[in-house]
Amino acid sequence: MSASAAPVRTLVLGGARSGKSAFAENLLADADTVRYLATAVLDPADADFAARIAGHRDRRPAHWTTVENADPATVLTTAAPATLLDDIGTWLTARLDARAAWDAPRGTVAPDCDALVAAVASYRQRLVIVSPEVGMGVIPATRSGRLFRDEIGTLNQHLARVCDEAFLIVAGLPVRLK
């Protein structure tokens, strides 16, 4: 990417409640049309998670189009003026569930991750991706925790490689990585 070219693909990383989603939304605040790709699956029995989803919905501008529970790799085959994909962690969790991979050998979700990275690499419209950075804490005590941490860490590396820019959000403050 040349110094004067506008970024096309941006990866926004951060921990829980770091402000990563709000930062990502702000990157597209001036866009006339935004397709919001929401990966969270609403569980009506989980009031806390439902409240988080509602907070994200309430924060979005009314003119944004929302695509919920989507397979991002498939959705990204269709161009939109600007797309916000939020978030890779919930998508990865759903893929681990769908493939019954929590106790399977590592790499079971690699085909899904590879398809997503390829879709991002070939996407030429404005794209902002939100993903959790979970590798800065203690080593999880459970196999499933370690599996998620390792899989998201690898996926984040691959996404960062194909994105034009990347930010780490810490305490609401962006740090440019690329």
Q: What is the 3-state secondary structure (H, E, C) of 26-93?
A: HHCCCCCCCEEEECCCCCCCCHHHHHHHHHHHHHCCCCCEEEECCCHHHHCCCCCCEEEEECHHHHHH
Cα–Cα distance measured from residue 22 to residue 9, given in angstroms and rounded to the nearest whole number: 17
Catalytic residue among 56, 60, 149, 158: 56
Give me the CATH topology for the region 9-176: Rossmann fold (3.40.50)
Q: What percent of the chain has pLDDT over 90?
A: 75
| β-bridge pairing 9-14 and 126-132 | parallel
User: In the predicted model, is pLDDT for residue 2 greater than 60?
Assistant: no
Q: How confident is the model over 85-141, as pLDDT tens digits?
A: 999 999 999 999 999 999 999 899 999 999 999 999 999 999 999 999 998 888 899
**Please, how many CA atoms are within 13 Å of residue 41, restricted to the half-sphere of its CB?**
11
Q: Model pTM?
A: 0.91
Q: What is the pLDDT of residue 62?
A: 85
User: In the predicted model, is pLDDT for residue 3 greater than 70?
Assistant: no
Residue 56 appears among annotated catalytic residues: yes
